[in-house]
Structure 1
Amino acid sequence: MKQPIIDAHIHLDMYSEESRKKMLKELELFHVDSLLSVSNHAESARKNLQLAQKDKRIKSAIGFHPEQELPDNNQLEKIFTLIKKHKEEIVAIGEVGLPYYSRKKDATLSLTPYIEMLEQFIRLAVKLDKPIILHAIYEDADIACDLLEKYAVRKAHFHWFKGSAATIQRLIENRCYISVTPDCLYELEIQQLIEQYPLELMMVETDGPWPFEGKFKDERTHPKMIHESIRKIAEIKSLPLNEMYKQLYQNTVDFYGIDSSFTLKN
């Protein structure tokens, strides 16, 4: 299939330089139009900004990944400063959210300071009129929704979302977007989510370099895998493949305000 695709969530800065260069050379071959590279912390954000300045196919977002130790006030302020300084360059604030997996490992981890940090990012997203990219699954998604509703956030993207039927319905009612990874090929929970969720609120991603199982086991995560995800989504939705490509692509372009044309700097 020669339809263009967009990877709506990837950690491009986390790839080795060799892997990243190879991947970028292959994008045109696999009809990958754009990559939305999210940040984990300030240094990650600086790297993504540099990558985006060199290759216009890369769209950067700045945030702080919640599945790590909380930043101190100085570190957090550096991230906020980067967001404000580069507000015209970045397409979103993210990845931000709540530490679901960290709390599974350590039940004593307090959620309160993470909620307070997320609220600060949400307030900034509203002030700058930027989409926000969320790492918030299961019960954490309801906490995130409370904050999104409090500040009347219009553009929220829950990446690799998982949640209860009630939470799924809440996201749909709030017109929140989700994005699907290649685990849709083998995870029943994700397949059921695809079946329920409106296509007009859906995107596709890899979350690379996060690895996958099934046919992609032991393979370095690459945006080309999205073609298989789209085929699976079309199968689940019982819709023509060509239509599926166009809808998912347009959803991402519209949500992030992406210019789908690109040029490379020498």
Structure 2
Amino acid sequence: MIDAHIHLDQYEDALLPSLLQNLPEQQIEALIAVSMNLTSSMRTRDIAARYPGRVKPAYGFHPEQPLPSEEELTALLDWIEQHAGEMTAVGEIGLPYYSRAEALERGEAWDMAPYIALLDKLLALAARLDKPVVLHAVYEDAWTVCDLLDKHGITRAHFHWFKGPAATVDRMIRRGYSISFTPDILYEQEIQELARRYPPELVMAETDGPWPFEGPFAGRVTHPAMVHEAAAAWGALHGYAIDRAKAVLTANTVRFYQLKL
């Protein structure tokens, strides 16, 4: 299988060899490794160079952090363009739903305009480079992101660990956008309901590692091989045998990211 979304740069250096060297024995063929900012993108690139063919790098700016300065953004955009040939996707990019919610809960003001402007520039770059995008966009933010995708004519959009209202889900399905499920599909009813509804041909499996999970995964370091359990749970919701579920999700990921394995 393929882990369609993981933050390898967020793992400790000492853990990476044990995480990545044994992937063939874990029946994991490749990983889509996303990035947080320029420093993170550089580290992701270095990791991918150490594990060629296995780690497929994506470069971007995660929205759940302070905005970059103009100089920092220019440096990131220039760097991404310079390394576009080795890049699988632009990501992780999106809008800061959780940071905004926490700020509003503290009674602080929040201006979304600069975050939307940042995403607009990153999507413009992805469109110019003809690269798919990996999106952090949940709940009401996803509708705004759909508007921006329409603006830039981007059709290869991957909303990772998505949650959102029915109207947004319907719009995403009509556009043919992809989503991915993490191991929380084993124990989150909201995620299971979305999994039943979303077309199987538009679905992938991810871990979002090193993010930790609950339920049967409590206390375990998040490992790419957990996508096997996510796939089995997703397949059960559709009445698929485990092998068929894994095959469908893997084929979807290969097709979406145009991977050469």
* Paired residue type of 2:210: P
Superposition TM-score, scaled by structure 1 size:
0.95
Match of 2:20 among 18, 24, 44: 24
Aligned residues: 256
Match of 1:263 in 2: none
Q: Superposed, which structure 2 residues align to 1:200-211 within 5 Å? A: 200-211=201-212
Name the TM-score, length of structure 2 as normaliser: 0.97
Segments of 5+ residues of structure 1 without an aligned counterpart are 261-266
Q: How far apart in 2 are the matches of 1:138 and 1:112?
A: 17
The Cα offsets for residues 73-98 of structure 1, whole Å up to 9 and x where unpaired, read as 11111110111001110000000000
Q: Structure 1: which amino acid aligns with 2:177?
A: C
Are positions 1:243 and 2:218 aligned together? no
- Aligned pair partner of 1:78 in 75, 80, 83: 75
Any idea what SS the aligned residue of 2:57 has?
strand
Match of 1:264 in 2: none
CA distance in 2, matches of 1:187, 1:196: 15
> Could you tell which deviates more after superposition, 241-250 or 212-221?
241-250
3-state DSSP class of the match of 1:209? Answer: coil
In structure 1, the partner of 2:218 is 217
* Inter-partner Cα distance in structure 1 for 2:220 and 2:22: 15
Q: Distance in 2 between matches of 1:166 and 1:99?
A: 20
Secondary structure, in 3 states, of the residue corresponding to 1:157?
Answer: strand
Give 1:1-266 correspondences, 5 Å limit.
5-56=1-52, 57-107=54-104, 108-260=109-261
Shift of 1:51: 1.0
Whole-Å separation in 1 of the counterparts to 2:63 and 2:207: 19
Q: Which moved more, 1:21-30 or 1:124-133?
A: 21-30
Query: Which 4+ runs in 1 deviate beyond 6 A?
Result: none
Instruction: Judge which range, 180-189 or 232-241, deviates more.
Output: 232-241
Aligned residues with identical type, % of pairs? 45
Between the aligned partners of 2:257 and 2:43, the Cα distance in structure 1 is: 20
Task: Write the distance in 2 (CA, Å) between the matches of 1:29 and 1:45.
Answer: 27
Could you tell me how far apart the structure 1 residues matched to 2:44 and 2:131 are? 17
